[in-house]
Amino acid sequence: MATPFVFPVSVYYEDTDHSGVVYHANYLKYFERAREHVLGREELTRMYREEGLGFVVYKAEMTFHEGAVFGDELEVRTTIDVESPYRAVFHQAVWKPDGKKPMVDSHIQLVCVEGTKLVPLPEQVMARARATGAVD
């Protein structure tokens, strides 16, 4: 098992719903930010501007175990499985740094596109992911 890439997240008041718990869709934002950092924001920006490449979510599965609340400091832990030349699965979980189990688990499948055309995952992106130690 690869060592996960760890991305810190602070829970702000704006992240919570009327019950004071993080609104479920905001976990998708936390996961997205973590993925950008795993792959390298500068490289993703360069690929988009110079090559017209981008990533889209093909499938997202989430399981909620415990809600985070305003003021919590969290970690998004990410590992990646490359399931085909066209698809990467990001296993992402939200943890309290001293937690015994994840608060939220997810499996988010990404594909790479040029415009609307499916293209193989770029090697430079996977090399960046491997360099972080987050690739299984």
* pLDDT, tens only, 4-51: 999 999 999 999 999 999 999 999 999 999 999 999 899 899 999 999
| Token pair 């399931």: residue | 83
17 is catalytic: yes
Predicted pLDDT of residue 31 = 98
Q: Is the dihedral of CA 125, 128, 129, 135 positive or negative?
A: positive
Task: Give the tokens for residue 13.
Answer: 């008041």
| Token pair 């997205």: residue | 32
* pLDDT, tens only, 69-97: 999 999 999 999 888 899 999 999 999 99
Share of the chain above pLDDT 90, in %: 81
CA 134 vs CA 6, 24, 72, 114, 115: distances in Å:
9, 25, 24, 25, 28
Q: What is the C-alpha separation between 59 and 90, in angstroms, rounded?
A: 10
* pLDDT, tens only, 92-112: 999 999 999 999 999 999 999
Predicted pLDDT of residue 83 = 83
CB 121 within 8 A of CB 112: yes
Residue 135: pLDDT band (50, 70, 90) is: low
Q: Is domain 5-131 given the CATH code 3.10.129.10 in the classification?
A: yes
Q: What is the pTM of this model?
A: 0.91
Helix (H) or strand (E) holding 46: helix 41-46
Predicted pLDDT of residue 134 = 65
- Which residue among 17, 72, 81, 136 is the active-site one? 17
Q: Is residue 128 pLDDT above 80, yes or no?
A: no
Q: Is residue 1 pLDDT above 80, yes or no?
A: no
Domain ranges of the chain: 5-131
